[in-house]
Amino acid sequence: VDAFLVTHRPNIFYLTGFTGSAGTLLVCLAEAALVVDGRYAIQAREEVRTARVRIMRGDLLAGVAALLRATKRTRIAFEAAHLSVQQRHDLATSTGRSVRWLPVCGWVEKLRAVKDEQELELMQKAAELASGVFEDVLALIRPGVREVELAAEIEYRMRRGGASGPAFETIVASGPRSALPHARPTTKPLTGNELVVFDLGAILRGYCSDLTRTVFLGRPPGRIRRWYSAVRDAQEAARETLRPGVQAGRVDSAARRVLRRHGLLRYFSHSTGHGLGIEVHEEPRLAFRQPARIEAGNVVTLEPGVYVPGFGGIRVEDDVVVHASGARLLTRVTRDLIQL
Ligand SMILES: [Mn+2]
């Protein structure tokens, strides 16, 4: 291709360092141009070293089309997953028949999946921030406090710790609501003798963390202790499988095997983990029969769980980086069942 049009913000950030909310990147063989509007003129020039900054009035894609008309580039790749049908139509209309638009997928995502030392340092800090905040908030967890209050405390403290925001909407799910893997916090107060799932993550200088712990308020009955250790063992089995060259699906099945042995597999309703970085869900996916190979430098979550409808759920999630010899933990909170 003569050029590659990058429209996905996390990809633009990865390639240029630009953190603005609107921008389009045109990568050619010898140079690249970041097209932004006047709001980002100062910021883009400060942040971006790897591309020329072009300030445009009006629609950014129309600006890109004008650039392309002027440069006689004829084969342009675009990010098929990150351009709307309308945008694709408008581009084709404004560049005319001289330009061939080629849909491509995952070009930058594939690069992003392998983190360099500098990225790993940031991700370690993002993981430590989430870990520290969770440990601090433990002191506030007691019967009577509402889910939303704890979620607010977590997000506030992450922000105070330097996060630009939460990596996703913080989950605090208590009692039967903990059986919903993506429960939103409600005004429900915590009560005694119930499970509470906390899932939180911080964005620190562009990089995400993602941490889940399950707490029991009171003395957990034997059944819950057994389920909890099955989930923890499933996570451990996945972690032991994780190394460069292994298929992502094998990491997932290592966790599934443990849960099956405990008769809990039918309560595990999602995949074992996902890549983590500039986005909270990225490559590689640790999902059922996923054939992609794990590489050194991948950062993934390991988060098996069991969700029993009407009763409650248990999930344990950590972030790990893959090294030549295996997986190293980035998050650092006890993985024992926390009793309060
Ligand atoms: Mn996760």
What digits encode the pLDDT tens for the residues 84-116?
999 999 999 999 888 999 999 999 999 999 999
Q: How far apart are CA 144 and CA 97, in angstroms?
A: 66
| Ligand 1 geometric centre to CA of 280 (Å) | 7
Question: Half-sphere exposure of residue 160, counting CA atoms within 13 Å on the CB side?
Answer: 9
What are the distances in angstroms from CA 211 to CA 43, 126, 138, 301?
32, 10, 14, 8
From the CB of residue 76, how many other CB atoms can be counted at a distance below 10 Å?
A: 21
| Ligand 1 geometric centre to CA of 105 (Å) | 23
- For residues 30-35, give the mean pLDDT: 94
> What percentage of residues in the chain have a pLDDT greater than 90?
92
Please report which confidence band the pLDDT of residue 73 belongs to, taking 50, 70 and 90 as the band edges: confident
Q: Is the pLDDT of residue 305 over 90?
A: yes
Can you list the alpha helix ranges (DSSP code H) found in 189-279?
Answer: 222-241, 248-261
| Ligand 1 geometric centre to CA of 252 (Å) | 14
Q: How far apart are CA 86 and CA 265, in angstroms?
A: 43
| Ligand 1 geometric centre to CA of 245 (Å) | 22
- For residues 179-190, give the mean pLDDT: 96
| Ligand 1 geometric centre to CA of 319 (Å) | 9
| Ligand 1 geometric centre to CA of 8 (Å) | 21
| Ligand 1 geometric centre to CA of 211 (Å) | 7
Q: Classify strands 3-6 and 75-79 as parallel, antiparallel or unpaired.
A: parallel
- pLDDT of the residue at 72: 78
- pLDDT of the residue at 129: 98
- pLDDT of the residue at 14: 98
| Ligand 1 geometric centre to CA of 107 (Å) | 23
Q: Is the pLDDT of residue 71 over 90?
A: no
Can you list the alpha helix ranges (DSSP code H) found in 289-337?
Answer: none
